[in-house]
Amino acid sequence: MDELLGIVVAGATGRMGRALIEAVVRSPGLRLHGALDRPDSPLLGRDAGEAMGVHTGVRVCAEVPATLAGAHALIDFTVPAATLAHARDCVAARVPMVVGTTGFDADGRAGLVAAAKELPIVFAPNMSVGVNVAFRLVEQAARILGDAYDVEVFEIHHRHKVDAPSGTALRLGEMAAAALGRDLSRDAVHGREGVTGERGAREIGFHAARGGDIVGDHTVFFAGQGERLEITHRSSSRSNYATGALRAARWLQGRPAGLFDMQDVLGLRD
């Protein structure tokens, strides 16, 4: 293995891709091995760091198999269809993956599970260290507070986000649901409008807002009689996601095939 870990960034010209590239070139022990983008991207052939004023010596390209050759990890924050195609290429090239893409349906998740039987994959709705601590805090709060407190999840993101609720919001709800013995397929309520009737005791509510350039805010409310507990995480920059993704890429080295998440990476798993 090379002294430096070679990282390939998918979606290299997007907002998250640019943050990842900047983080890679500034991180000791890492090197930018490749930068992938769509075949119709107008930035193909340009230096991957040009938009950030950084010279990387790596040009944006669309040739996935060739780019993966000799790499140590692919980091993918794109869209489900592209991520699943990249997963097939990573299996063929034996390159571990860090997946931060959200919006997968059941078939998409099954595709990642299948790929993880062949290589190690870290798949998490949010790579932020702080958010993953929030996941555990929500789980613990739900377990302690129990059914006497109503759970509502609020999130807001930038106007360009295409899925709602966010993967992070859903994961926060899943953590609460698991601790309370509930099933989101039955108990989740997405927004409320009109005469909805009294709130069900087992409901876990989700509420999404979109606007401007907000990176991502999440709050879980535990509303009881006479008090409420709020667990909030706010992101002011994508750099925290990039830092977590690079930590995951390092952690993957030498791991066996399997599907992991940031709880594994951070040692937060019980």
Whole-number Cα distances in Å, 269 to 78, 139, 265: 27, 12, 9
Whole-number Cα distances in Å, 129 to 82, 232, 235: 25, 14, 11
Same domain, yes or no: 50 and 69:
yes
Q: 11: Cβ–Cβ under 8 A, 6 or more apart, which residues?
A: 17, 36, 37, 76, 77, 78, 82
Q: How far is CA 259 from the centre of its chain?
A: 14
Same domain, yes or no: 78 and 111:
yes
State the 10-residue block means of pLDDT for the chain, 270 residues long: 85 93 95 96 93 91 97 97 98 97 93 98 92 95 98 97 93 97 97 95 98 96 98 92 95 97 88
Same domain, yes or no: 140 and 220:
yes
Same domain, yes or no: 146 and 245:
no
Indicate whether 212 belongs to any domain. yes
Same domain, yes or no: 159 and 229:
yes
Whole-number Cα distances in Å, 194 to 191, 197, 198: 11, 9, 12
**By residue range, what is the domain housing residue 109?**
5-123+238-265
Indicate whether 67 belongs to any domain. yes
Same domain, yes or no: 195 and 137:
yes
Query: What amino acid occupies position 234?
Result: R
**Residues designated catalytic:** 157, 161
Predicted confidence at residue 41, as pLDDT, reads 93
Domain of residue 46, CATH code: 3.40.50.720
Indicate whether 51 belongs to any domain. yes
Instruction: Tell me how many degrees the CA angle 218-16-133 measures, rounded to the nearest 5.
Output: 35
Predicted confidence at residue 237, as pLDDT, reads 85
Q: What pTM did the predictor assign?
A: 0.80
Same domain, yes or no: 168 and 45:
no
Q: What is the DSSP secondary structure assignment for residue 40, as one 8-state letter?
A: T
Same domain, yes or no: 170 and 95:
no
Same domain, yes or no: 102 and 179:
no
Predicted confidence at residue 84, as pLDDT, reads 98
Predicted confidence at residue 1, as pLDDT, reads 45
Same domain, yes or no: 51 and 102:
yes
Indicate whether 242 belongs to any domain. yes
Indicate whether 202 belongs to any domain. yes
Indicate whether 158 belongs to any domain. yes
Indicate whether 270 belongs to any domain. no
Give the total number of structural domains in the chain.
Answer: 2
Same domain, yes or no: 105 and 156:
no
Same domain, yes or no: 116 and 136:
no
Domain of residue 183, CATH code: 3.30.360.10
Indicate whether 66 belongs to any domain. yes
